[in-house]
Amino acid sequence: MDLEKLEREALWDGVRAAGHFLDSSGGETDLAKLSKDEMLAFAEHLLRGYGEAMKDKINNEAPF
* 3-state SS, one letter per residue, for 37-49: HHHHHHHHHHHHH
CA angle at residue 29 from 16 to 9, to 5 degrees?
15
Predicted confidence (pLDDT) per residue in 30-45, tens digit: 999 999 999 999 999 9
- Which of these, 53, 44, 61, 58, lies nearest to 11 by C-alpha position? 53
Domain ranges of the chain: 3-59
CA angle at residue 34 from 42 to 25, to 5 degrees?
55
pLDDT tens, per residue, the chain with 64 residues? 677 999 999 999 999 999 999 999 988 899 999 999 999 999 999 999 999 999 998 887 666 5
Q: What is the rounded distance in angstroms from the CA atom of residue 27 to the CA atom of residue 23?
A: 8
